Structure 1
Amino acid sequence: MGWASQVGQASTWDDLSGRIVLEYEPIEDALFYASVGRGFRSGNWNGVAFGRVQQIENPVDPEVLTAYEVGAKTELFDNRLRANFAAFYSDYDDLQVSIFVDAASVLANAAGAEIYGAEVEFTAALAEGLTGRLAIGYLEGEYVDFCDGNSVSIDPSIPFDTECGNDLSGNRLVNAPEWTLTASADYVRPISQNWEWSIGGDVRYQTEVFFTAFNFEHLGEDAFALWNFRTEFSNAETGLSFGAWIKNAFDESYRVDGNQIRAPFGHDLITYGQPQFYGVTVSKTF
């Protein structure tokens, strides 16, 4: 249930949420499942002051999500390989989307949006002390029906009329890369009765994303990959460990957020991700 108020106004929203899961285990090392769930996010008001008073007077509608998923979790080759698979579909009604109207960030409702995709994950014992992991995801997500309600056209490439505002139907969802890939490897080796040494690394890759519902390419990020490496000496008896690590090892320059502020300022905001970052760690467990 959700409740919100403006000066002189109040509203209450309620809905039923839940999830049903069916599981089938034909053998000890394989589990198949299917699920359907329903989620609810309360409505609200945009309590900020800007030029269009109707945006303040009219509440943002609640958001409802219906999600479906099927998948499998398996253990193979005497538990040396774990393989998980999943496919999903999510249907949004009145998805709440943050957009800029002039100089103010407000919530608006996309009447409909949908997401579907699939994921695979593998974890394998590749050799004594060596573990590898790989995960691949595919995602499609778009606003099926979305009018932003602006009183002015944002860009000539975006359909516009006075009733709808800018028509963003068919645009890709914010921060929704089509492909993602993560891979890692870790090696652990005893070097004495109590001490062990470990070394590892991982990489995360994603394809292009947009940071706004308008899908402006200059307010997005092209495909990029981030690499991290680490090593550690640890003592199980004393609980001491000494490590060194480096994140974004190749100093990739990448953007993680962006937005467009129009009147009265008229500029773009871009946020960049963490540059190359390294250090050492000393810790003790008790």
Structure 2
Amino acid sequence: AAIPFLDFINTQDTESLAFFVQGSYHVSDRLRLTAGVRRTDDDKTNTQTITNNISPGKCFDLKLQNDWQEMTYKLSADFDVSESVMVYGSYAKGYKSGGFNTGSCNNAFDPETVAAYEVGLKSTLADGRLRLNLAAYNYDYQDFQARLFINNASLVENATDVTNTGFEAEFVWVPVDAVQIDGGVSFMKSEFEEFMSDDPMDPPELVDLEGNQTLRAPDVSYSVGLQFTHVFEQGADITFRYEAAYKDDYYTAVFNNDFARIDSHTLQSVRVISNVNNRWELTGFIENVTDEELLENILPSATIGGTIGVWSPPRLWGLQLRYRME
């Protein structure tokens, strides 16, 4: 006899209303204070129907509704140390509404909130030839919406607490008119403080994920770019640019399984950009110059009883032609 097919219909309706107000006050010529508040109301309805269900006991008619209200706010201060250096600090409370996982019976998840602290510096130095920005931050998430891949489906579960602490720096330096050197570096620690969940690759016990790295959160990443521009008298110019970007190893599964670890890697690219009278632009490019073989995503698969992976693009080259209309 023929195997009955599974007909699955899922509909989600979302209504979101928000009101916000924000204002700034100049305490002095050098000090500015900013405050803002936002009220958000979200209402979501999830309806799913499964016909010809071949799995007895599973839900096949389900309608769920929920609504959430949240007040969020921001406080910040900017201070001009000099005409070329500004320091700042901010605190903000953020919110992401809850929702429903499609294709699951007990499929609701709660809203996520975050308390975000940041201090930093923005500067323009060396007679305008060097721009340097620094920032340190700490994000404390409550009911963090962690994404899992279980039984060939992407689901969201709430983790009790997640912290994300880091430091970032970026710069653009123009030592002479024809040369630009730019780059950035990020040091980050993003991990679960409290989270218990079922690992589909090691059932049926709950796994304590405290201390595990969150998804795609390398401890260290940096990039550097070098470009040279030559300007012709006829109103044309040509730019040669090289870029390299490094990422430390990271995980594509919250369980930090060995199979879900993406090794550290560096990707490089080059571009040659020709511009004529700011109208015509011809760009030649090569992405992934060294043709690195890199898996960018690895997930468990219930179908094959193993894992599936997604490769990042190989070496890619091409030409782009653009015309800017007046």
Length-normalised TM-score, structure 1: 0.89
> Aligned pair in 2 of structure 1 residues 217, 257: CA closer, same or farther (>3 Å)?
same
Unaligned residue ranges in structure 1 (runs of 5+): none
Bigger mean CA deviation after superposition, 185-194 or 86-95: 185-194
CA distance in 2, matches of 1:91, 1:144: 10
Bigger mean CA deviation after superposition, 273-282 or 98-107: 98-107
2:266 aligned with 1:240: no
From 266, 277, 284, the equivalent of 2:305 is 266
**Pairwise CA distance, 1:10:** 1.9
Decide whether the 8 Å contact of 1:103 with 1:265 is kept in 2: no
Unaligned residue ranges in structure 2 (runs of 5+): 1-40, 47-61
2:289 aligned with 1:275: no
Decide whether the 8 Å contact of 1:117 with 1:139 is kept in 2: yes
What one-letter code is carried by the residue in structure 2 that aligns with 1:219? Answer: A
Identity %: 23
Aligned to 2:202: 155
From 44, 62, 65, the equivalent of 2:111 is 62
**Pairwise CA distance, 1:265:** 4.1
**Pairwise CA distance, 1:153:** 7.1
Q: Greater RCO between the two (CA within 8 Å, min separation 6)?
A: 1
Aligned to 2:16: none
Aligned to 2:97: 42
CA distance in 2, matches of 1:124, 1:93: 39
May I ask how many residue pairs the two structures share in their alignment?
Answer: 270
**Pairwise CA distance, 1:8:** 4.4
CA distance in 2, matches of 1:256, 1:46: 24
Give the 3-state SS of the residue equivalent to 2:190 in structure 1.
strand
What one-letter code is carried by the residue in structure 2 that aligns with 1:177? Answer: P
Q: How does 1:208-223 map to 2 (within 5 A)?
A: 208-223=249-264
2:246 aligned with 1:169: no
Can you list the C-alpha shifts for 1:166-193, whole angstroms capped at 9, x where unaligned?
2211101110001111110111111332
Give the 3-state SS of the residue equivalent to 2:99 in structure 1.
coil
Provide runs of 4+ in structure 1 moved above 6 Å.
none
**Pairwise CA distance, 1:204:** 0.5
Length-normalised TM-score, structure 2: 0.78
What one-letter code is carried by the residue in structure 2 that aligns with 1:174? Answer: L
Decide whether the 8 Å contact of 1:208 with 1:223 is kept in 2: yes
Higher-strand-fraction structure: 2
**Pairwise CA distance, 1:3:** 1.9
> Aligned pair in 2 of structure 1 residues 192, 20: CA closer, same or farther (>3 Å)?
same
Can you list the C-alpha shifts for 1:17-62, whole angstroms capped at 9, x where unaligned?
232211000211011000111111111122314xxx4x33xx2111
**Pairwise CA distance, 1:154:** 3.9
2:273 aligned with 1:224: no
